[in-house]
């Protein structure tokens, strides 16, 4: 009896050799005997079901309700609260410098001493002149009093009495002029010692000891910047003006600044809003006040500024990585109770640190995919990755979603 081959999809062959889609006809007796076997082999050649896709490994997090501050970011420049350029009000030789460049000085500290001897001599001279003229004024006044009594008895003429009175008045005027000269001499002597008008940090010293100092001549002797507290000025687009007027009408707005190359922010309060918008740039200038007790902010420094206008206490928040953008717009993958990934369109809002506000399309408590999006398709089975030391999903996620 010839050997019959069952070639699924091509037919049967004989002679131990396959044929191209052709079935040879055995004898009728053999056909009846082999018919059950043919049915068995033919059943084995039926279509097999496709194997089920393995679950996609993903990381998840839970959509939570939390506080989402509305903030505005800008670039700012640090400026001192006060700046004073020290100039001498008297001329002379600089005999002493009582500080070092870069020192912190307090208001009233002695900074410079100019040779006081010429000013002391001028003061002594003015005081002596005052004493002389006061004595003359007193004598002239006594004469005026005597002439006033004598004119009543006709011992002197009225003209002589008037002359004595005028002399007394002139001497009083001389005394007043002498007093002004004394005050001016004392002022010059006091200004021979130059003190700090404010508390702050000194800059570079422009005039050294032994040099001749002239009144008001540039450059200044030294510049003092007050850096405790300190200001930061920055600008925001004029479209934000209504928000500043609305939310800044009560308590001062909170402001955070971060120096370049740093990660720790300084906390301060908004204390100045300019009274006009710059029409050339379309921006509004503002200033914030900082204690700067640790001296991290420095005049002229560039900083990143964040102003907090208000806080939405009931925002729906998800990690930034959960929000994806497709052809139909932003979406997230939500893990259902059946461990399947459901694509859900959302309306994302502002970004708050490492989380994004979802304004529409997602409920609190939904489990969203944060990693593994590239391997997902809608309704794909998922396997949630767990932390190595915990059997719970990361970020406290719960399986399933509304």
Sequential DSSP letters for 30-54: HHHHHHHHHHHHHHHTSPPPPPPPP
Domains and CATH numbers, the chain: 5-44 (no CATH), 57-67+314-396 (2.40.420.20), 72-79+224-313 (2.40.30.170), 116-191 (1.10.287)
Q: Tell me, what's the pLDDT at 156?
A: 87
How many angstroms separate the CA atoms of 83 and 203, rounded? 11
Question: How many percent of the chain have pLDDT more than 90?
Answer: 64
Task: Using alpha carbons only, give the angle 238, 243, 244 rounded to the nearest 5 degrees.
Answer: 80
For 176: left if phi > 0, alpha if psi spans -120 to 50, otherwise beta; the answer is alpha
Tell me the average pLDDT of the chain.
Answer: 85
Per-residue pLDDT tens digits for 40-86: 454 455 555 656 778 889 999 999 999 998 889 999 999 999 999 99
Q: Which of 32, 6, 2 is nearest to 14 (CA)?
A: 2
pLDDT of residue 18 exceeding 60, the answer is no
Q: Tell me, what's the pLDDT at 59?
A: 92
Q: Tell me, what's the pLDDT at 33?
A: 52
Mean pLDDT, range 88-102, rounded to an integer: 95
The pair phi, psi for residue 257, each rounded to 5°, is -125, 145
Query: Is the distance from CB of 12 to CB of 35 less than 8 angstroms?
Result: no
Per-residue pLDDT tens digits for 239-263: 999 989 888 887 889 999 999 888 8
* HSE toward the beta carbon, residue 149, CA cutoff 13 A: 5
pLDDT of residue 402 exceeding 80, the answer is no
Per-residue pLDDT tens digits for 131-173: 999 999 999 999 999 989 998 888 888 999 899 999 999 999 9
Q: Tell me, what's the pLDDT at 151?
A: 86
pLDDT of residue 109 exceeding 60, the answer is yes
How many angstroms separate the CA atoms of 200 and 84, rounded? 9
Query: Is the distance from CB of 378 to CB of 334 less than 8 angstroms?
Result: no
The pair phi, psi for residue 287, each rounded to 5°, is -135, 145
Residue 348 confidence class, pLDDT cut points 50, 70, 90: very high
């Amino acid at each position: 009896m010839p050997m019959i081959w069952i070639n699924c999809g091509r037919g049967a062959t004989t002679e131990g050799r396959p044929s191209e889609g052709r079935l040879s006809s055995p004898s009728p007796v053999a056909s009846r005997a082999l018919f059950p076997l043919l049915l068995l082999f033919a059943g084995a050649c039926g279509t097999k079901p496709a194997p089920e896709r393995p679950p996609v490994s993903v990381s998840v997090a839970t959509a939570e309700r939390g506080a989402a501050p509305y903030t505005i970011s800008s670039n700012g420049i640090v400026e001192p609260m006060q700046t004073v350029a020290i100039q001498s009000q008297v001329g002379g030789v600089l005999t002493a410098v009582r500080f070092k460049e870069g020192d912190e000085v307090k208001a009233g500290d002695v900074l410079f001493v100019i040779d006081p001897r010429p000013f002391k001599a001028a003061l002594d001279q003015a005081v002596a002149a005052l004493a002389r003229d006061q004595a003359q004024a007193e004598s002239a006044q006594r004469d005026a009093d005597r002439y006033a009594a004598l004119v009543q008895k006709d011992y002197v003429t009225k003209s002589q009495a008037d002359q004595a009175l005028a002399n007394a008045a002139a001497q009083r005027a001389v005394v007043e002029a002498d007093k002004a000269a004394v005050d001016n001499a004392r002022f010059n002597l006091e200004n021979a010692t130059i003190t700090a008008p404010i508390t702050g940090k000194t800059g570079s010293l422009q005039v050294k000891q032994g040099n001749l100092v002239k009144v008001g001549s540039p450059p200044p002797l030294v510049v003092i910047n007050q850096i405790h507290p300190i200001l930061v000025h920055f600008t925001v687009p004029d479209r934000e003006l209504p928000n500043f007027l609305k939310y800044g009408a009560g308590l001062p707005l909170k402001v955070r600044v971060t120096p370049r190359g740093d990660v720790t922010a300084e906390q301060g309060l908004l204390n100045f809003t300019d009274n006009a918008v710059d029409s050339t740039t379309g921006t509004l200038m503002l200033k914030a006040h900082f204690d700067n007790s640790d001296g991290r902010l420095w005049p002229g420094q560039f900083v990143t500024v964040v102003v907090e206008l208000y806080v939405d206490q009931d925002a729906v928040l998800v990690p930034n990585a959960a929000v994806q953008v497709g052809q139909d717009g932003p979406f997230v993958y939500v893990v259902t109770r059946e461990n399947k990934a459901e694509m859900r369109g959302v309306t994302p809002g502002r970004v708050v640190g490492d989380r994004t506000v979802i304004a529409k399309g997602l409920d609190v408590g939904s489990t969203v995919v944060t990693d593994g999006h590239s391997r997902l398709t809608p309704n794909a089975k998922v396997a949630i990755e767990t932390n190595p030391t915990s059997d719970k999903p990361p970020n406290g996620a719960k399986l399933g979603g509304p």
